[in-house]
Structure 1
Amino acid sequence: MRFKEGDKVEFIWIGELKQGVVTEIEETKNAISYQIKYSGEMGMTWLDERDLLSPAPVLKVPKLVGDFLENHSKEDGHTLHDLLCDLLTSRDSLDENVYDWIMENNNENGELLARAWMDGYEVEKEPLYYVKLPISKRNEATDELEIINMCLLLNIQSHETCISGNYRWVDKLKRTGWRTKLTEAQIKDMPEGDAYWQFAVPVRDLEGES
């Protein structure tokens, strides 16, 4: 398999599986060699192409599942049996939410939970949304009502809200606590959050707009 600079790779070094990054490539008519930077005594080594493997992709799980796994980690002495027992018997809201997530797709999600606990995982980034609210405004030129889209702003420190006609400008004021890009939970946790959620639009759907 061909690799390029910056690729992550795995290889066997003195009987142990190591992970490293390709930093340089040398190619001849008969072979390709890669310089690999890795964590170890040498820190750098040259290996032939046949000695390298692509690492298995890291499993990705939703944040609620990541929180559940963190509370049942092997490092804290928990076993997979402990995790499954808590999942089936606990009345904790987090456990119940993870149970509901598994039941959405019992075979795939149940296997993903077990594999993530055993092999490691990364938490998926939560989708972000703009809340675009249709507001009635009188056009002074025509003296008629027209509908314009306004964006909901949330101050994550004070939980105040306001609206603006521009959903981008506030991104420059993050240090003040104001946000236009919000998670589903942030939207639904506001007063009238369920109503606001009806007007939520994924950020990626608007990123291409001028």
Structure 2
Amino acid sequence: MKFKEGDKVQFIREGSMVEGVVKEVKDCSPDMWYLIDDKCKDSWIFGGHLILLTLLPVIPKFAADAINTFKDEGDSLAVAIDYEVYTEALIKELSLDIKMRGWLWETSNQELFARAWMDGYEVEQEPLYYIKVIDSYFGYINLNLKTGAYTTSTNEEPVGFKTKFTEKEIKNMDTRYWAFAVPVEEMEETK
């Protein structure tokens, strides 16, 4: 297999699997040599010793929950991928997210779901939010992780406190707080 600059690859060095990126290609016909940056050092590696690094598919948490649930139930991929299976009764019975039916309606998501089922997956990072209830530097909801009490303070996250929440966490606190949610990314960009 031929690799090109920028390809993510794996190879074995001193008995351990190492990941790196192809920086340079040298054609020494009939052999191919690749300069690999593995974050520790650059190494020239014979092409026959490289494997293309395939990344796991990234899926939403609700899709990961569905995969785990159907596998735990002993169901097949064919059952789990059929969007018509996701009736209101089944969703309630298995505690699945109603979004699954619409998500699987998209053909590209069916393929993603199948790859995730077969090869494993990474869960998409849910967006995080601050809850800004007062227009002030000290107007953010803070959760004391030790006591479970909520206070207002800055949006900084000192040890023992939580200031960043998912949409679900906010709505579980009080659905009215959702109106005060500010995306963390938005706040970080303005700094």
* TM-score, normalised with respect to structure 1: 0.62
How far apart are residue 152 of structure 1 and its match?
A: 0.9
**Do structure 1's residue 83 and structure 2's residue 80 form an aligned pair?**
yes
> What amino acid does structure 2 have at the position aligned with 1:117?
W
CA 1:52 to 1:102, structure 2 compared with 1: closer, same or farther past 3 Å? Answer: farther
Report the CA distance between 1:122 and its aligned residue: 0.8
Residue 155 of structure 1: which of 129, 144, 149 is its match? 144
Deviations 1:84-122 (A, max 9, x none): 576456232533x1x533315612333332332123211
Partner of 1:185: 168
Length, aligned pairs only: 171
Q: Give yes or no for the alignment of 1:202 onto 2:186.
A: no
1:106 matched residue in structure 2: 105
For residues 131 and 82 of structure 1, do their structure 2 counterparts lie closer, same or farther at Cα, with a shift above 3 Å needed? same
- Given that residues 5 and 22 in structure 2 are in contact (C-alpha distance below 8 angstroms), is that contact kept between their aligned partners in structure 1? no
Query: Are residues 1:69 and 2:67 paired?
Result: yes
Q: Report how far residue 2 of structure 1 moved.
A: 3.0
Conservation of the 8 A alpha-carbon contact between 1:36 and 1:47: no
Percent sequence identity over aligned pairs: 26
1:112–1:56 CA distance, 2 compared to 1 (3 A): same
- Counterpart of 1:102, as a letter, is R
Q: 2:155 aligns with which of 167, 178, 184?
A: 167
Gaps of 5+ in 1: 11-18, 38-44, 136-147
Given that residues 33 and 45 in structure 2 are in contact (C-alpha distance below 8 angstroms), is that contact kept between their aligned partners in structure 1? no
Deviation string for 1:46-94 (max 9, x for gaps)?
Answer: 422x8756333321111122122123338x8542145357645623253
Q: Work out which of the two has the higher radius of gyration on C-alpha atoms and give 1 or 2.
A: 1
Structure whose residues are more often strand by fraction: 1
Once the two structures are TM-superposed, the CA of residue 126 in structure 1 deviates from its matched residue by: 1.6
Counterpart-to-counterpart distance in 2, 1:27 and 1:118: 33
Q: TM-score, normalised by structure 2?
A: 0.67
